[in-house]
A = this chain, B = another copy of it.
Amino acid sequence: MNLTAIIGYLAAFGTTASFLPQAVKTIQTKDTSGISLPMYILFTLGTLLWLIYGIMEPSLPVAVANAITLIFAATILVYKIKYK
């Protein structure tokens, strides 16, 4: 694996894993006042489209990374709607 691919995998790990601490914090505190509803509507839709793109292309890394991110993003979106 060359350096560019390694950087790509690290990038994918970072942007995917980053939503886990946000989801945990939101579930634990239910504090969603500072969280933007339009952000999580757009981001959840975008992640769903990335998942569909990954399945159609097909690109397993894109599909897997976005399936995981979709779970986190949708969870935060549901909490934002429920506890706004």
Contacts and interface: CB of A to CB of B under 8 A. Distances in A.
A80 to B, nearest CB: 9
Given A31-B34, A33-B33, A11 B42 contact: no
A14 B63 CA distance: 16
Given A12-B46, A15-B42, 4 more contacts: A7-B52, A10-B46, A15-B50, A18-B42
B35 A35 contact: yes
A12 to B, nearest CB: 8
Contacts of A29: 34
A63 to B, nearest CB: 12
A15 B36 CA distance: 14
